[in-house]
Amino acid sequence: MKIGIVGLPNVGKSTIFNALTAAGVDSANYPFCTIEPNVGVVAVPDERLNVLGRMYATKKITPAVIEFVDIAGLVKGASKGEGLGNQFLSHIRETDAIAHVVRCFDDTNVVHVEGSVDPKRDVETINLELIFADLETLERKIDRCGKMLKSGEKKYKLEMDFYTRLKDWLESGKAARSFPYEEQDSEFTKDLFLLTSKPIIYIANVSEEDINRESENPHVKALSEIARADHAEMITVCASIEQE
């Protein structure tokens, strides 16, 4: 399983990546510190595996692994090539799930690309870029499908209908993962590879003082509401402490 660590620049993605993988990649207080994606493979700790290994006297124990990909920060307009641009969306496309890191710590020493800490705005910025990228994918599908329909191929009508419904949904700012799919849609979803249909987990990066009192942090509260609306889980960490 491959999980992409995604978020605005300078929110702590590489710090979290280092905490998870002990890889020691560059994390520094400037936006776009990461350009090429960092990849780390981590074994999933599972006590049961050793017990089973002893029971069956196996020579080799192979734990399940998760591959983490620390992706460059996305900014407003990324889907149109802004910031480090479009290629990062393709790095996200290759993952099975998204870990969306959101800055919830106040620290005037650490640069925020938008100048202030605001999880709602930040999440919307990233999610909109992902939605824009998905809309482009859909528009290509609609184009192709439209041509087939014109040439009199009636069977494409259902497909076109699905694309149009999904397009309206995305255009209203919602992710494909929460789309009310109908039974006949499944046939058309399997080769879409939409970014916003990937499972997502929100990671609230909080300051050291806020560990264990997350509920008092209004940023965390805002993020948990966003996660709930997106049918997703949220966890809180203090990336810098975890890395240490």
Where on the chain is the footprint of ligand GTP (CB under 6 A)? 7, 9-15, 27-29, 31-34, 72-73, 105, 107, 110, 205, 207, 238-240
Minimum distance from residue 25 beta carbon to Mg ion (Å)? 7
Angle at 99 (CA atoms; ends 228, 28), nearest 5 degrees: 125
CA distance 157 to 179: 20
Secondary element (H or E) of residue 236: strand 233-237
Minimum distance from residue 70 beta carbon to Mg ion (Å)? 6
Residue 11 binding result from ligand GTP, Mg ion, none, given CB thresholds of 5 to 8 Å by partner type: ligand GTP
| 79 is a contact residue toward Mg ion (CB under 5 A) | no
CA distance 177 to 202: 14
Q: Which residues contact 107 (CB under 8 A, 6 or more apart)?
A: 207
Helix/strand/coil for 227: helix
For residue 179, the one-letter residue type is: F
The residue among 14 and 224 lying less far from Mg ion, judged by its C-beta, is: 14
| 33 is a contact residue toward Mg ion (CB under 5 A) | yes
Strand partners, 98: 4, 200
The residue among 11 and 222 lying less far from Mg ion, judged by its C-beta, is: 11
CA distance 65 to 44: 5
The residue among 39 and 110 lying less far from ligand GTP, judged by its C-beta, is: 110
The residue among 26 and 94 lying less far from ligand GTP, judged by its C-beta, is: 26
34, 125, 197, 224: which one binds Mg ion (CB under 5 A): 34
The residue among 74 and 166 lying less far from ligand GTP, judged by its C-beta, is: 74
Minimum distance from residue 14 beta carbon to ligand GTP (Å)? 3
